[in-house]
Amino acid sequence: MVPGTLDVKGTKILAKSLFKELRGNGYSANQILSLSTELIDLVTQDLKHPILEEAGAALQPAAKGDWRAAL
């Protein structure tokens, strides 16, 4: 399945599969929530700046005072 062609049902299946995989590998609910927050932040940044920067730039540490929980 090509990511660009995922429909709503496909997206839900992918999310459920990823969730099950993470839980099965010992990730806590809080760790999964933190990962989800990071993903949302990356998508938000990408929407603001659609031209891809260097791979490392998107993975910069969170700014001081950020509330996100550590994994």
In whole angstroms, what is the distance from residue 39 CA to residue 45 CA? Answer: 10
The number of residues making up the chain comes to: 71
pLDDT at 69 over 80: no
In whole angstroms, what is the distance from residue 44 CA to residue 4 CA? Answer: 18
SS3 52: coil
**Can you tell me which residue has the tokens 């969730």?**
19
Q: What is the pLDDT of residue 13?
A: 93
Whose CA is closest to 36, among 55, 66, 15?
A: 15
Tokens of 19: 């969730």
Digit-coded pLDDT (tens) for 7-61: 889 999 999 999 999 999 999 999 999 999 999 999 999 999 886 655 555 555 5
